[in-house]
């Protein structure tokens, strides 16, 4: 079978895998590796889906370099991505961050602080070199040993506690500067490759940054630090990211846009609204476009209103000329709940207000929904078909 596939595939430029069993998946993947062919794999559940394009990769730690993507799939991408925009995956869930809070197997649970990802031999080698260059070779022997575990809270640890915490001492400043810079360097390398790949194609590149809003009200911002964002009460960790994206003409894509501070656990000092505002200020200062998305599925007016307010980027509480709107918003996600009659009606009204742009949040949502009633009526047969299809 392997011999016949390797004989058949060379005449094709790209391979699309539509199989659903492990042996076939592995066989096709192996053949593509042997032949150096790009492999497109996809999966769907109901109306949700995702796909990935896998090329021959050069691995350096967590760094995956793009090769020949433009040559093979340029035309296809223009069709698949309606606005000719590609979100370049940078790490876990596609986000530019370390895998500091893995949910698999219950390793991490909200609102734990996560854990530094610096203890493999490659990271330790870089840390050692940085410490020696800084004249502090002892600082390069290992990462922080008093930073707790995945599900600790800041005050459980010596490193993250607000009074006398290691994060705010010379060693902590050295380590966090190095740790965050390694993440920025990773982003730079991938963006350089992506930019050269899609140069002169008209394709926009975006990068997703995680909305780590828990313990945001603490001094150390521990979960952000373990993820690689050197953001504390005394330091802006999002401006360097925004400046990096601006250098490459990329879009800053941020999440948790639908969340309000008062909806979150107060004991964990969750402040998503303040976090979004900080990111908006950083992107405005760096002059980089800001896009957003919701972190959790929400179908209520309360969440819709928050998205409208946040996406208008009225940072200073008014509609001054300096403020701009988000360049895009991704609504997550299309599933059976969205097509329930009340949810669909609210969603149509929400989309109408998003389309109207800045100032639309001042309009009565009920009025907008009445104006959108005609569209709801027209799409009712389609929605009913979707409901029937999803039940099967």
Catalytically annotated residues: 95, 293
Asked if 316 and 269 touch (Cβ cutoff 8 Å), the reply is: no
Provide CB contacts within 8 A for 40, sequence distance 6+.
14, 15, 16, 17, 51, 52, 53, 54, 73
The structure tokens listed for 349 are: 């009204």
Angstrom distance (rounded) from CA 132 to CA 135: 5
3-state secondary structure 103-137: CHHHCCCCCCCCCCCCCCHHHHHHHHHHHHHCCCH
Asked if 345 and 375 touch (Cβ cutoff 8 Å), the reply is: no
Angstrom distance (rounded) from CA 285 to CA 277: 12
The structure tokens listed for 170 are: 């010379």
Angstrom distance (rounded) from CA 213 to CA 38: 37
Provide CB contacts within 8 A for 66, sequence distance 6+.
55, 190, 193, 194, 197
Cα–Cα nearest to 223, from 105, 107, 91, 116: 116
The structure tokens listed for 124 are: 């330790």
Asked if 246 and 129 touch (Cβ cutoff 8 Å), the reply is: no
The structure tokens listed for 264 are: 């979150």
Cα–Cα nearest to 231, from 208, 124, 242, 118: 242
Pairing of strands 204-209, 85-87: parallel
SS3 346: helix
- Transcribe 377-389 into DSSP letters: HHHHHHHHHHHHH
Provide CB contacts within 8 A for 93, sequence distance 6+.
208, 210
């Amino acid at each position: 079978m392997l011999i016949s596939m390797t004989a058949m595939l060379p005449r094709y430029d790209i391979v699309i895998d539509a199989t659903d069993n492990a042996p076939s998946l592995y066989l096709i993947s192996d053949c593509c590796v042997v032949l150096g062919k790009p492999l497109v794999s996809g999966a769907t559940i109901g109306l949700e889906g995702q796909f990935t394009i896998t090329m021959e990769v050069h691995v350096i730690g967590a760094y995956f370099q793009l090769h020949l993507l433009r040559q093979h799939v340029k035309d296809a991408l223009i069709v698949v991505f309606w606005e000719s925009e590609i979100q370049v995956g940078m790490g876990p869930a596609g986000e530019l961050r370390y895998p500091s809070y893995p949910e698999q197997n219950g390793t991490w649970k909200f609102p734990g602080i996560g854990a530094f990802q610096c203890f493999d031999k490659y990271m330790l080698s870089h840390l050692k070199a940085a410490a020696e260059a800084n004249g502090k070779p002892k600082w390069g022997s290992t990462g922080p040993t008093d930073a707790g575990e995945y599900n600790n809270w800041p005050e459980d640890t010596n490193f993250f506690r607000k009074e006398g915490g290691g994060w705010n001492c010379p060693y902590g400043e050295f380590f966090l500067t190095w740790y965050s810079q390694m993440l920025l360097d990773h982003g730079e390398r991938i963006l350089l490759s992506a930019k050269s790949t899609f140069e002169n194609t008209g394709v926009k590149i975006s990068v997703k940054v995680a909305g780590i809003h828990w313990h945001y009200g603490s001094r150390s911002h521990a979960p952000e630090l373990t993820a690689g964002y050197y953001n504390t009460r005394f330091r802006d960790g999002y401006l360097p990211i925004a400046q990096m994206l601006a250098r490459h003409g990329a879009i800053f894509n941020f999440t948790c846009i639908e969340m309000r501070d008062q909806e979150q656990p107060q004991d964990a000092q969750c402040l998503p609204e303040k976090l979004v505002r900080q990111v908006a200020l950083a992107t405005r200062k760096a002059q980089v476009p800001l896009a957003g998305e919701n972190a959790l599925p929400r179908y209520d007016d309360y969440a819709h209103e928050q998205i409208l307010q946040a996406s208008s980027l009225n940072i200073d509480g008014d509609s001054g000329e300096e403020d701009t709107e988000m360049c895009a918003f991704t609504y997550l996600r299309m599933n059976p709940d969205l097509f329930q009659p009340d949810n669909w009606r609210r969603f149509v009204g929400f989309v109408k207000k998003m389309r109207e742009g800045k100032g639309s949040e001042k309009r009565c949502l009920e009025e907008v929904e009445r104006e959108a009633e005609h569209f709801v009526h027209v799409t009712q047969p389609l929605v009913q078909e979707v409901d029937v299809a999803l039940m099967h």
